[in-house]
Each structure stands twice: as C-alpha cells, then as structure tokens.
Structure 1
Amino acid sequence: MMNENPPSFPPAAAPAGAPRNAATILILGALWLLLFFAALFSPPLLDDADATHAQAARAMVTTGDLVTLHVDGIRYLEKAPLPYWLVAICYRLFGFNTFATHLPQAVAVLLLALLGWHWGTQSFGERTGFYTGLSVLTSAGIFLFTRIFIPEVLLSLLLAVALFSFLKTLTPPSPRCWPYAMWAALALAVLTKGLVALVFFFGAAAAYLLLTRELSRWRLLRPLTGGLLLLAIAAPWHVLAGLRNTGGADGHGFLWFYFVNEHFLRFLGRRIPRDYNKLPGSLFWSLHLVWLFPWSLFAPLALDAARRRWRSLTANTFQQRSVLLLGIFSSLVLVFFSLSTNQEYYTFPAYLPLLLLLSAALARAEQTYPTNARWITFAHAALTLLGAAFALTLGYGLWTSRHLPFVPDIGALLAHRGVGDYTLSMSHLFDLTGPSFAALRLPAALAAAAFACGPALAWTLRHQRRHIAATSAIALTSAVFLIAAHIALTRFAPMLSSQSIAAKIQTLRATHSIAPDTRILLFGDQSYGSSIPFYLGRQVALVDGRSSSMLFGSSFSDAPPIFLTSSQLAAEWGTGARKLLFVPLEERDTVDHLLGPRQILLEEISGKALVTDRPLDPPPQR
C-alpha cells in the first residue's frame, strides 16, 4: 500500500449540500431532454461518417445480415457491430430517420451522466455526483461529438461501467455480481470499438494493481469464468465475420483487415488507405480545454490538488481508489492517442474520468472556501473574460451583418479553405465569412446573451458563497450555448448534408420527370454524398470512388459493379438510360472539364450539384 496519510478529498459521508437524489435525477433528466433528446430531430444525417454508418445499420435491416456490415452494397469491415445493431433496432421501431439513428447515442449520454452522478456520489459525496452529472451533459466535446453517428460515447459508457465494477470488486464487501458485470461490459466494449477497449482497461487495471500492491488479489476478478463470459459474448461475431469474409485484396480477409490493418497499422499511421490526419501535439493537448469547456477552466484547481496530495494518496477507501484509477485511465487514453493517428473525438473515453476528478476538486474547494479560493477565482475570471470576448465578437458580427439578407444556403457563402482537407472534424469552422454570419443571427444572439450574462452571474453567486447556485449558473450558461450551437449546426445542414439532393431526386420520380430505373451516380468518394443512398434507400454508382472505406470491400469477388472511372462516365454520358450525377463541391472543376456543356443542371446547393445528361421527361398527359 501507499503512504498512510490523510486522503486528498473529504470523506463521501461529509455534508454535501447538494440536491437530494430525486431532485438531482429530475434536474439531469430535464437537462438531457433539453439538450440531447430535443436535438434528435434535426439536422438531417450529415455526409461522411454520419450517413455512412447509418447506411451500414440500414443494410442490416434490409438484408437481414447482422454479421457483415455493408455500405452501398460493399463490405464495410472496419467497424465493430454493436452500435449498428442498436441503430438497426431503432430503425425497426421508428423507421429510417435522424431520430432513430442518433437515439442510442443520446441514451448513452444520459446513462453516462447518471453513472458519473452515482460514481461521484459514492466516492466523493452528493455535491461531486451532482456536478459530474451536470458537467457530462454540458461539456462542449460530449455534445459536439454526439451530433454524428460514431461509437465513442457508447465505448466510454461501457469502459466506465467496467472500471466502476473493477473497483467494486476490489472494495469489500463485494457481491459476486461485480466481476461478471466488469467482464460483460468489457465484452460489449470490444463489440463497440475493438481491441482498443482491452488495451485501455487492462492497461489501467494492471497499473492500478501494481501501484497499490494488490496483484495478489487478482483472483477476486474471476479471470477464468469472467474470461469465458467475455469470449461467449464477444467471440461469436468475430468468428462468423472471419468465416464469411475471406478472399479480399491479396488474399486477405476480415481477420487481417480488422485486426492488423484497423488496429495495429492504424496505430502506427500505416493503415491502408491512409486517409486519416494526426493532430499536432500541442493542438491535441490544448484542444481538451475546448472539449471539456467550461469545466476545463477548473483544471488548475484539480492539478494543484494532485500536485499537493499525490505523495499522501492512499488506496484504502473507495474514494481513494477512484482517484487513482480515474487518473491512471485518463492518462493512458490521452498518451495512447497522442502517439497514435487520431481524430479529435478519439479521447472521448477519458472525458468522464477527467470530469469526475474536476468535479471532486471543485466540490472540495467549495467546502473549504475561502481557503482554496485562488483557483476558483481564476476559473471565474477566465470564464468572465472569455464570455465577454465571445459576447463582443458575436455582437460585432450581429451588428455588421444587420443589413445583410438572410440566405438559407449558408454553404454558398463560405470560404471553402479546406483546412486539413476536411479530414478533421472541425475543419469547416475555418470557412466562416462575414456574409455567412447573417444566417447565424439567432444562434449568435443566444450565445452572446449567454456569455454576456452567465459568467458574471456565476461569479456574483460565488462571491456570495452560494456555491451550488454559482456552479449551476455555469452549467446553464453552457446549456444555452449548446442550444445555440445546435441551431447553428442545423443552419449548416445544406452544406453538411445532401438530404436535399435526395429529396430532389425523389420529387423528380414522383412527378414522373425521370424514370424509376434512372441510374444515380456520385462523383468521387462516397463520403461526399453518403446521405443520398441512405435517404433514397437504394444503391448508387460511384465514379472514381473506389477509395477510402470502399477500397477493401470492393476487392471481394462478389462486390456489386458500382464503380466507374471518369473515362467510362464520359463515354457513357448521354447514351443508354438516363443518368443523374451528384457532383460535390470538391469535384466541380473536374466534372466541368470532363463533361463540359453536356451537363444539364437540376439542382445546386452549397456548391454541390445534381446534373443529368438529357432534358427531363415531359409531364404525363392527364
């Protein structure tokens, strides 16, 4: 054991001064309904990962194949199946729409907040639990990275359940159910994101047992029967996927592509195809101040507590065990992805552990206020200054755009700088221009009001030592900002989604302007217009689109013939059956050079175009 000195935080049984359990659940539930459930209905599915993954879930429903994922009829072997199973169930219940696609993620956020509240309450007291639930629901990164269909929030929830169960197993008295809950959650995490779940969990667990000198207690984890449970849950899909997907490129099948290419080569930055960016180190670390905003402003408080208390930390109580395990796990996740190829949201599993530690540090500082007032004052000063800067910037934008007309198609007004070649999640933020701000007046006004009033109110309440009210005011400020952010995202829908192009095609069919069997083609990578085949509910052809996620699956002998080269398109254009071609903004110049005046423009939205190779059919005579 470590040094037996006083712990870093007050005992969990200390007076908390937080809302009662029923009130806390009502507050967190209402906040979730406002921020996450209400956001399930708009915008439509976005191109790239969002609609691509939705296609895979839709294919499960339409084909009945629950083992092999398919996108546009092509094997999609790089992802684990659990998120797609959940969305497929929602499609059965609610139909093929945005609500059903994002519902499992929204529910996972609620469960993550409730788990954070429960863990925080048991470890540090009711106030920490309340703050943890608030921070999970109002952190910028958690909200932002659940706007698209990706598995990170579900992975985070399952790993957090496994870690909590691990601690419960080692903390007497321990019912027999906890080790099996740990293994079951870990198995589901493997079915969510693959082997990286095992790396994170066992890496953190091993480091914890070494530091606490508790390796001799490994039998409590039931490794034999628990390992069999993990295999019983996780192994069948892997075995079936390996048996059903053999004979791909160079003789490789699922097992090589999924385990070698998507795990080891991805970590080394040698994945095929190489279509991932890596954030610069300084940006990777500093962006977590954004993803955990506004709660990251209390990071100096937590770091100061860790610096002063590390040598005296013991691991005798559930609270002390939580501090140690949460610190180890979050550090492991952050360091791992600082070395690997990464996207901004890859470190999502570290968010709950970090927010728990931040909430515990804040609650402790409040209970010893004004002794530890320095870092709380720093956080409020920083938030107030940032809020004033944001409010002034947004106010300036509102003033300068007051005479500009509202243009629904905001994508037509953007700069299109292509920062990071749009392979980073935040690339489009660099495209904003002055005229495009006119389309964002409502969300800008909401955000400006929140930042102008919220931080000052919170600091005033803190000065009056109304601590829970002050921290709740910070959460409310963030909540209003996130509502504004969602409205802004909806305004960006014409640029980020091609659902309107799919709607145009459906209208042309309904009015008999095109034949039902008209061939639909997408120029370039399928991610440019992945929402089109989802909303049409049919397969489309790809021109020069045998790339990125479609590359490996297209190498199987039974892959449908959906791929054309640009030279084939030029030769077939205007011959045979009518063709509709979707052209993304990035490929407009290429298509103009290829087809020239032989295109007939049917629709243009945010620089994206729908063209055909002959005049539309005349309407039928009544």
Structure 2
Amino acid sequence: MTRSAPLLLLLAALLFFFALGNHELQGSTEARVAGIAMAMHLDNDWVVPRLFREPFLEKPPLSLWLDAGAIRLFGGTTWAVRLASAFAGLFSVMLLYGMLRKFGRPKTLAFIAALMLATMASYWSNVRGVGEDSLLTLGVTTALLAFYQANRPESERDSSNLGTWLLFSLGMVIATLSKGVLGLAMPGIVIFVYLASTSLMDKRFKLGDWIKPGLFTLLALVPLMIWLGFLYQRDGLQAVREVLLTNSVGRFSGSFVE
C-alpha cells in the first residue's frame, strides 16, 4: 500500500465533502449555530455571539468565527456553514494516520485505523454538520497525539521536540476555543492520569514531566483569555462567568438550561 496517504485523503474527502450542501439544516443545533454565525457576519460583531439579538454564551466562538468567515466568503448556504466541521474531520483523520506512521506503526495499520475513524457513523454525522464537536475532536486528538509523541523516549533526543509541544498547544487552543472548560478538561484528565500512573509505576516524581504540559497548556490559553478580555469589556463579569460555567460546570450541577 505505497499510496496510502493520498488514497485515505481521497476517501475521507469524498465521505466528508460530497453533497455536503444538498440537504437542509437538521435539528435545532444546526439551525441555531448557523443563525448565530449569520448574525455575526451581518452585524460584523466577532466578540459577542448573538441569537435573536441576545448574547449566546454557552461556549467560546471558534466554530462561529469559522462559519461566519465561510458565509462571508461563499455566501449564506448550508454548504458554507458545514465547511469548518468537514475540514476539521478531514484533518483529524489525516493527523491520526500521520502520527501513527511517525510512531513507527505499519502503513496498513495506520490506514485502517484512520479509515475506521472516518467511517464511524457518529463521527461522520458530526463532521457533516454545523457545530463545534468536530473542532473539539480535532483539538483533543491533536493535543493527545502530540503529547504522546513528545513523551516517547526517542523524542527526548529529537531536536524537533519543541515543534511537537507547539503542536500540543495548537490542539489545546482549538479545544478550548471550541468548548471552553470542557476542551481543557478532556485532554487534561487523560494527561493527568497518565503522568500520575507513570510516577507511581516508576516510584519517582519527575517535576519536568509535569511542568512542560502545564506551561504549553498555559500558552494555549492565551487566545481564549484575549477573547474573554474583550468579552469582559463589552458585557462584564457575568458574561465571562456564563462562558466558563454555563456549558461545563452547569451541565453537571443541574443549573444548565438549554
């Protein structure tokens, strides 16, 4: 299978992009998110997402920025507002393949793993829909694969290790700007459990193993904090609290009302 990557790219692109705009917006989520993105485009307000002229602050606006940008470039079509999700899905599949190859896995195994991801029904439906779930998946996938690569023994001698940690930060940027606290918690819990388990098995605590992901996570939070700063200037502390708590802590405490 000497041409695995081009074949995988072609198959995933067909799955995610073919007839992408040939059906109307489905359910409440697609219509709501597309409407907010259209309002963002028409009002030229990239700080405060609005639904029916009221602030809609369940989550950070990365998916809305991309959808509004696509509307501005390609017009207000169902195809345009689904582009960000489709590209995020495609990038996740190709990243999985590329990183598995970098980990030394055979081409056939990497191809099958990536194709399995691309053809999962729930994944495929999210990739072809409007919303932030596909972007969240890309962010978490990027962060965890980069973290794994950075912590492989052979990577410690690799001069490109900084690039791997920057890729980790990029994944965290995408995850947190897509889903806020949940985008931080999903990869963060996995990394914490891995580091804690490793420390227990090795019976020693290596501070450096904890400092690096912590520092590059702080770096990744800068874009989110900049947006929250602009939001605070516009709508005050209550708006910031709503972004950070409503769609994360509120879902588990019972205070969240969709």
User: What TM-score do you get using the length of structure 1 for normalisation?
Assistant: 0.38
Selected match of 1:235 from 207, 225, 228:
225
Q: Secondary structure at the match of 1:253?
A: helix
Deviation at 1:154, TM superposition (A): 0.8
How far did 1:55 drift?
A: 1.1
Give the Å deviation of 1:220.
6.7
Shift of 1:255: 2.4
Give the AA of the match of 1:96.
G
1:216-295 paired onto structure 2 within 5 Å: 216=206, 217-218=208-209, 221=212, 223-224=214-215, 226-246=216-236, 253-271=238-256, 273=257, 275=258
| Worse-superposed segment, 147-156 or 253-262 | 253-262
Partner of 2:133: 152
More helix by share: 2
Residue matched to 1:126: 107
1:199 is matched with 185
Give a deviation string over 1:352-396, Cα, whole Å, max 9, x none: xxxxxxxxxxxxxxxxxxxxxxxxxxxxxxxxxxxxxxxxxxxxx
Percent identity (aligned): 26
What is the distance in 2 between the residues matched to 1:141 and 1:227? 29
Taking only aligned residues, the RMSD between alpha carbons, in angstroms, comes to 2.0
Residues 1:46 and 1:127: Cα distance change in structure 2 (over 3 Å)? same
* Counterparts in 2 of 1:244 and 1:31: CA distance versus 1, 3 Å: same
CA shift at 1:51, angstroms? 1.3
Question: Equivalent of 1:212, from 188, 195, 198?
Answer: 198
With over 3 angstroms needed to count, the CA separation of the structure-2 counterparts of 1:38 and 1:136, relative to structure 1, is same
Per-residue CA distance 1:264-312 (angstroms, 9 max, x = gap): 12122331x2x4xxxxxxxxxxxxxxxxxxxxxxxxxxxxxxxxxxxxx
Partners of 1:220 and 1:257 in 2: CA distance: 30
Gaps of 5+ in 1: 1-18, 247-251, 276-622
State the 1:260 CA deviation: 2.7
Separation (CA, whole Å) in 2 of partners of 1:140 and 1:206: 30
Contact 2:88 2:127 survives alignment (8 Å): no
Structure 2 residue runs without a partner (length 5+): none
How far did residue 151 of structure 1 move? 0.9
SS of residue matched to 2:19? helix
Residue 78 (structure 1) aligned with residue 58 (structure 2): yes
Find out whether 1:109 has 2:109 as its counterpart.
Answer: no
Contact 1:166 1:221 in 2 (8 A): no
Letter in 1 for 2:135: L
Counterpart mapping for 1:434-583 below 5 A? none
- Please give the secondary structure, in 1, of the residue aligned with 2:127: coil
* 1:244–1:109 CA distance, 2 compared to 1 (3 A): same
Answer with 209-218 or 235-244: which moved more.
209-218
- CA distance in 1: counterparts of 2:89 and 2:65, whole angstroms: 18
Q: Look up the SS of the partner of 2:46 in the other structure.
A: coil
| Residue identity matched to 2:72 | R
Structure 1 Cα separation of the partners of residues 115 and 239 of structure 2: 41
| Equivalent pair of 1:184/1:233 in contact (CA under 8 Å) | no
Structure 2 letter corresponding to 1:199: A
1:391-402 → structure 2 map (5 Å cutoff): none
- Kept after mapping to 2: 8 A contact 1:121/1:130: no
Q: Aligned AA for 2:186?
A: F
**Against the structure 1 CA distance between its residues 196 and 85, is the aligned structure 2 distance closer, same or farther, given a 3 Å change threshold?**
same
Contact 1:170–1:220, Cα closer than 8 Å, also in 2: no
Cα distance between partner residues in 2 of 1:146 and 1:219: 33
Once the two structures are TM-superposed, the CA of residue 227 in structure 1 deviates from its matched residue by 4.6
Partner of 2:151: 170
- Residues 188, 233 of structure 1: 8 Å contact kept: no
Kindly indicate whether the alpha-carbon contact (under 8 Å) linking 1:78 and 1:257 is maintained by their aligned counterparts in 2.
yes
Who is 2:28 aligned against? 48
Q: Given that residues 169 and 221 in structure 1 are in contact (C-alpha distance below 8 angstroms), is that contact kept between their aligned partners in structure 2?
A: no
Specify whether residues 227 and 208 from structure 1 end up closer, same or farther in structure 2 by C-alpha distance, changes over 3 A only: closer
Question: Taking CA–CA contacts closer than 8 Å with sequence separation of 6 or more, which of the two structures ends up with the larger relative contact order?
Answer: 2
TM-superposed deviation, 1:191 = 0.6
Contact 2:172 2:217 in 1 (8 A): no
Q: Distance in 2 between matches of 1:160 and 1:120?
A: 12
Q: Conserved in 1, the CA contact under 8 Å of 2:91 and 2:138?
A: yes
> For residues 439-489 of structure 1, what are the alpha-carbon distances to aligned partners after superposition, in whole Å with 9 as ceiling and x for unaligned?
xxxxxxxxxxxxxxxxxxxxxxxxxxxxxxxxxxxxxxxxxxxxxxxxxxx
- 8 Å CA contact 2:139–2:170 kept in 1: the answer is no
Q: CA deviation at 1:222?
A: 6.2
Asked if the contact 1:169–1:220 (Cα under 8 Å) also holds between the matched residues in 2, the reply is no
CA distance in 2, matches of 1:113, 1:165: 15
- The one-letter code of the counterpart of 1:51 is A
Q: Distance in 2 between matches of 1:33 and 1:180?
A: 27
* Equivalent pair of 2:92/2:142 in contact (CA under 8 Å): no
Q: Does the alignment pair 1:57 with 2:37?
A: yes
C-alpha contact (below 8 Å) 1:69/1:76 kept by paired residues: yes
TM-score normalized with structure 2 length: 0.87
Distance in 2, matches of 1:188 and 1:178, equals: 16
Find the aligned partners of 1:26 and 1:202 in 2 and give their Cα distance.
33
- Which of 151, 163, 174 matches 1:188? 174
Distance 1:223 1:257, change over 3 A: closer
